[in-house]
Structure 1
């Protein structure tokens, strides 16, 4: 006779944002935390945080040798890659371990290390141990997508999960993909002195961004790196230590291959169908506005149920799920009305709201203004020639529909526009309802708003 599953009040699958579900409301609940990999999830261990630590070092390296136009002679003498890697993970790894140790120390929390799979209605199995819960939170995130390319199974490759722990820098790096991961890691390795090639079937990098931003970004990056764009990939092969990507247009060869071809949600890997949890056609867990799945008592948050796959979106979800489980008579929906994002490449990119091409496809009227950094005193001091802020607004309500910035400090500059977007301010209120520091780069936002 099979043993009954161990029962918990709350089961959380995934310890990224899922770990933050455990607010003080659940201090007297019996809780199970399940993690198949390193405690803390993607963002802490192999995503946003380590990548930005590498990006900051890359920004410093890239700046060297690019100051001559200011009358400042500078050059990059070299980079000590093992020290850079050690700095990053010497700080991150103890945080991950400390987080797990803390959860182990709590009397009401049991941590399970291993792959979780549904084996029945609200029943999970981890390393042969079955457990169930009154509430189950699916926060298992996403994983790199490995495209079905001929020959790929026969060559070594890295993804964003592994490439940041390379023991030494390659001479040549080939990146497949043209999204934010390719852009950020391409910047990191190029700035460190690696010869970087980006292979992408689209003719533009960051093609999900506003068309003017994407075009400008592609032009700038193409001047730094070898970009093989707009040609289908035929296959991949290896000769000795060299890996070659074959496209219809040409071959691209390097020492290391990095796949940056997107990410897949992990719902199917959990076998959620065995519990009756519905997935959409793209594999995301289907939820209602309160993040309830199709099974009562099963919730989902973050990358497993959102195509945006952003940490700040997952954090917003976490707050909502934690509140809703603890307060079933006072349900709250997370606010996804204007999800901002940023790309920490060179140049930096940030945006909130609709792109111009989306508004055009929708047939929606809009006002548009684009102002270059060079129109501001600080941008003029920088001698910047490529950066700009772009704003789109409704001609009747004069509220912001979208905002897009490319250039230094873009993720910081966009925040004032995010605030205006979220609070429903008109562009006039944003432009004239506050004083802008002079001379600061924020004036590029002011000037763009005034132009509408």
Structure 2
């Protein structure tokens, strides 16, 4: 039985908890799969690197709109894949080697499961080891959700964990799901040459987004993909490379490859949490308080295994909170998930913060809406952009911003002034009229949306 001062389960954002200020302790990190977590190895970073490659390809294909004669010959998929994962795999390996060189850190490569309060068994390739600790952090992340009809078929399918590493894009790709992962990867493969069919149970893609964003994005991509909306898969048949998806309306989809992107689930069911006294929500998320403490004494949790907002920047903030609270148990700080911005790196890009217009109606709020199009500002003219827009929602009288939603180029960057304003309590009128807004920068679309509010 090996005892440590601190054990962290998960080397994604969990690894970020540990810095030099913990060097006086005996620390252990347990990782079953890969250092860097989902973000580095199969999530945010590789998907956005591939999305940028797709953006370059699309720019070449649409160059004629700017009186530029250009021809897209091909996307060299394997070369792009190797460039991206060659860099990221090196980062992952470097991160692990760096931890292994630290005398005060022990790295256990294996699967952890609780055997009692602050007690673990780590199953490794060379056998199991029992570990205890004074304090622990559970940061074991999540994994792609796979619907029953797909899993029961026995046929091969891809998820975001595997799809980006394949040797060649399929001729026909079926994407199951209509959220941000599905939308981003559908575009990556479409620009790489795949014919894409999306099967989504909702009537619009990106349904959790503001209704205007979801409606307009869905309309924009109808010409790019075969959309099967309001449909669910009842069975998957065929053979590898020749799949047939049966849908609940009696129709079928033929595909060479199936990408499952219907959501993610926390890995809590793989840890025997009950043995440690760690409670979970009905959806499997570990229950934590404002300070990221679980229901078990001395055990914290962070990231996708517990967070109501499973995004990397949220996990990183939670890691900062956990690190502080481990160092300063008498001066705890809290994590606030109220105003978390999010982005979708499709074409067009999408960004949001705060509540949607449908949220305003559902909550019975009195609100005002301001809208501005990219085509209404000079830089939008330069881009020949006729579809991008900014939408802001505010409280009448006070001008307090309730939500902001952008669809168009640079949306994840353009939304940041609105994130700052909402976080610091700057009202819409002050934000619109106090700072200078550079002309003819694209930020004018944000300024104009704020000025459009009838407060």
Instruction: Establish whether TM, by shorter chain, passes 0.5.
Output: yes
Partner of 2:214: 214
Partner of 2:130: 130
Quick one: distance in 2 between partners of 1:426 and 1:38?
Answer: 44
- Cα RMSD after superposing both structures: 1.1
Superposition TM-score, scaled by structure 2 size: 0.97
Q: C-alpha offsets along residues 270-303 of structure 1, whole Å, 9 cap, x if unaligned?
A: 1111111000011000001000000110000111
2:200–2:230 contact (8 Å) kept in structure 1: yes
Q: Does structure 1 residue 94 correspond to structure 2 residue 95?
A: no
Partner of 1:76: 72
Partner of 1:288: 289
Quick one: distance in 1 between partners of 2:177 and 2:150?
Answer: 16
Partner of 1:31: 27
Partner of 2:452: 451
Partner of 1:234: 234
Q: C-alpha offsets along residues 103-153 of structure 1, whole Å, 9 cap, x if unaligned?
A: 111111000001100111211110221111111000111100011116743
Quick one: distance in 2 between partners of 1:421 and 1:223?
Answer: 36
Deviation for aligned residue 1:101: 0.5
Partner of 1:103: 99
Partner of 2:381: 380
Q: C-alpha offsets along residues 205-238 of structure 1, whole Å, 9 cap, x if unaligned?
A: 0000001100011111111111111123221111
Q: Secondary structure at the match of 2:405?
A: strand
Q: Secondary structure at the match of 1:223?
A: coil
Q: Secondary structure at the match of 1:182?
A: helix
Q: C-alpha offsets along residues 136-191 of structure 1, whole Å, 9 cap, x if unaligned?
A: 00011110001111674321100000001001121111100000000000110111
Quick one: distance in 2 between partners of 1:75 and 1:230?
Answer: 37
Partner of 2:165: 165
Quick one: distance in 2 between partners of 1:241 and 1:90?
Answer: 27
1:379–1:441 contact (8 Å) kept in structure 2: yes
Quick one: distance in 2 between partners of 1:265 and 1:433?
Answer: 44
Partner of 1:413: 414
Q: CA 1:267 to 1:150, structure 2 compared with 1: closer, same or farther past 3 Å? A: closer
Quick one: distance in 2 between partners of 1:111 and 1:151?
Answer: 33
Quick one: distance in 2 between partners of 1:394 and 1:345?
Answer: 30
2:175–2:260 contact (8 Å) kept in structure 1: yes
Q: Secondary structure at the match of 2:223?
A: helix
1:151–1:237 contact (8 Å) kept in structure 2: no
1:65–1:73 contact (8 Å) kept in structure 2: no
Partner of 1:147: 147
Partner of 1:371: 372
Quick one: distance in 1 between partners of 2:108 and 2:68?
Answer: 56
Partner of 2:279: 278
1:145–1:262 contact (8 Å) kept in structure 2: yes
Q: CA 1:240 to 1:45, structure 2 compared with 1: closer, same or farther past 3 Å? A: closer
Deviation for aligned residue 1:314: 0.4
Quick one: distance in 2 between partners of 1:245 and 1:153?
Answer: 10
Quick one: distance in 1 between partners of 2:8 and 2:155?
Answer: 36
Q: CA 1:22 to 1:390, structure 2 compared with 1: closer, same or farther past 3 Å? A: same
Q: Secondary structure at the match of 1:8?
A: strand
Quick one: distance in 1 between partners of 2:281 and 2:165?
Answer: 34
Partner of 1:195: 195
